[in-house]
Structure formats: structure tokens, C-alpha cells
Amino acid sequence: MRSNNSIFYIYVPKDVDRDYFVSQCYSSGTVSIISELFEVRNNVRIGFNALQAIEFPQRSSELGSMVLATYMPQYGTYLVTDTFVKGDETWGFSEGEFITEKNYEDNNVSISGNAKSGDISISANVDEGGNLNVSIIGNENASLNLKSSGFLRVDVDGDTTVNLKGELNVSCEKEISVETSEGINLTSVKDFIANVKSLKVNDGDLSVVTEKLIDVFSDFLTAYDSHTHITPSGATSPPLIPQSPLLKTRATQSSSTVLYVDK
């Protein structure tokens, strides 16, 4: 016996809780479908790829994705084998491009790529919240690598936090520039002044906290106080810097000091 192909639409029955019904469809791999002649079929099996592509209606009075259902006489049931755009819809992509997207009410998430232009995009357009999570869970050999032959640009409207349990190593063959409109505060940065070529502050202060600055300041005070030179009346020391012993004590006991560079 030959199979019979028909066009149906994804359907949510009126007498069920929508969210529970949809969750059961995803877990069981079955859906309810309705034809343009209001023929309803329940518990219809759907292929894995088609299940990923369909959209369920938000209300029972609406129709979901258009699908192709094939009737299998030997099993006495339909199978959903593919999805199609409805009359007022378009796929929205071009040659050399792929799009994987999901919509829920006003929220949209998508992954798209275009071989012609060499672009890949991951986006989440949502009313509230939204997260992009990339994780690699393994041992100490696990790594996340980002490589660009040109620019690497990060635009953030809010705050940015980076938490490291190990070392932070930054290698730069050219100039490192940090520009801010309010101020920079860096703490516990060894050799920072020696390795960073320029820091630009448009408006505010630059606050650099470095252990090396403490050492240099303390060594300077010690060398100055211990220096002697020959005069006609014999060896003599230069005048002591006022409060020099107090300054040396505070420099060696302090865990940090701050260098301020005005705007």
C-alpha cells in the first residue's frame, strides 16, 4: 500500500496546560497536528530534526509550524517528516548561509553562519536577562582559545568581571593603551609601571598599586640617608629628609602604595 502525504499544522489542544503539553511532546517525540479541514491527529511521531525546527502556537486558537505528515498504512498512523514556512513567512537566509533559531513569545535566540562573507553570529534578543555560556569542564589541560587575524573587540554596556584562580599573562608586541573617562584602579600588579608603555585617562585619576614602587621608594630613602661625600672639613652626610625614618617604616610595612596621575 502506498503512503499518503498531507499538510498539517502543529496544534495545541484546548483542554490541556500548554507548557506541560509542549514538554511532553519534546520528551516523547510526538505532537498533535491539525489540517486546514480541522482534522486533528494526536500522538503523531515526529523526526528528531523536525522536532527541533517546529514552533508550537502560544494559544490553542493559533496554528504552529506547517509540517508534512505521511500516513503509513502498515502502522495505521501518521509520521511528521519535515517542516515548511507558512504562507506569510520566509526563511530569511541566502545562499551559503545557515540559521538555527528559536522563538518564544518576544524572545529570540539564534546561531547563524554565512560562508560567503565568512561570518558566524550567536545572538539572544530577549526582554529580560539572557545569558551566553561557554564552558569547558576537564582537568588543568582544558583550554578555551580565541584567535583573530585582525581585531578582537568587546562591547559591554554594564560592568565586566574576570575571576582568575591562576596567573594572568598578557603578551603584547606593540603598545598597550588603556583609556577611561573616570579612572583606573589596579591593585597588586608587580612590575606594572615597567611593562606598560602608556595609560591614558581622559577624566579622572590613574591609581596604580605596585609592590615594586614600594621597594624603589624604600631603597631610595636608605641610599640617601647612608650616602657620604668628602668636603674640606672631612666626610659628611647630606641633610636628612624630614621624617625620613617614619617614611621608611611606613613604606616597608605597607603592603602597597598608590601612584596618582591627574587627568
* Tens-place pLDDT, residues 90-139: 666 778 888 888 888 889 898 889 898 888 889 888 888 888 888 888 88
One domain for residues 30 and 48: yes
One domain for residues 15 and 97: no
Which domain, by its residues, includes 115? 91-125
For the CA atoms of 79, 83, 85, 86, what is the dihedral angle to 10 degrees? 20
When pLDDT is averaged across residues 38-67 and rounded to a whole number, the result is 91
C-alpha cell at 135: 564552558
One domain for residues 178 and 246: yes
Q: Is residue 170 part of a domain?
A: yes
pLDDT bucket at 56, cuts 50 / 70 / 90:
very high
Q: pTM of this prediction? A: 0.52
pLDDT bucket at 2, cuts 50 / 70 / 90:
very low
Q: Is residue 52 part of a domain?
A: yes
When pLDDT is averaged across residues 164-173 and rounded to a whole number, the result is 80
One domain for residues 66 and 116: no
Is the pLDDT reported for residue 146 higher than 90?
no
Q: Is residue 49 part of a domain?
A: yes
Write down which residue in 21, 52, 84 finishes a domain.
84
Is the pLDDT reported for residue 45 higher than 90?
yes
- Residue 73: alpha-carbon gap to chain centroid: 50
Q: What are phi and psi of 186, to 5 degrees?
A: -115, 130
One domain for residues 101 and 79: no
One domain for residues 214 and 179: yes
One domain for residues 169 and 248: yes
Is the pLDDT reported for residue 257 higher than 70?
no
pLDDT bucket at 28, cuts 50 / 70 / 90:
very high
CA distances from 194 to 147, 198, 214, 224 (A): 27, 10, 14, 23
Is the pLDDT reported for residue 37 higher than 70?
yes
The pLDDT assigned to 130 comes to 85
The pLDDT assigned to 237 comes to 62
Q: Is residue 62 part of a domain?
A: yes
Domain count, the chain: 3
Is the pLDDT reported for residue 33 higher than 80?
yes
The pLDDT assigned to 214 comes to 59
CA distances from 44 to 9, 35, 49, 68, 168 (A): 12, 13, 15, 12, 55
One domain for residues 173 and 262: yes
What is the tens place of the pLDDT at every residue in 177-217? 777 776 666 555 444 444 454 555 555 555 554 455 556 66
One domain for residues 194 and 121: no
One domain for residues 26 and 57: yes
The pLDDT assigned to 256 comes to 42
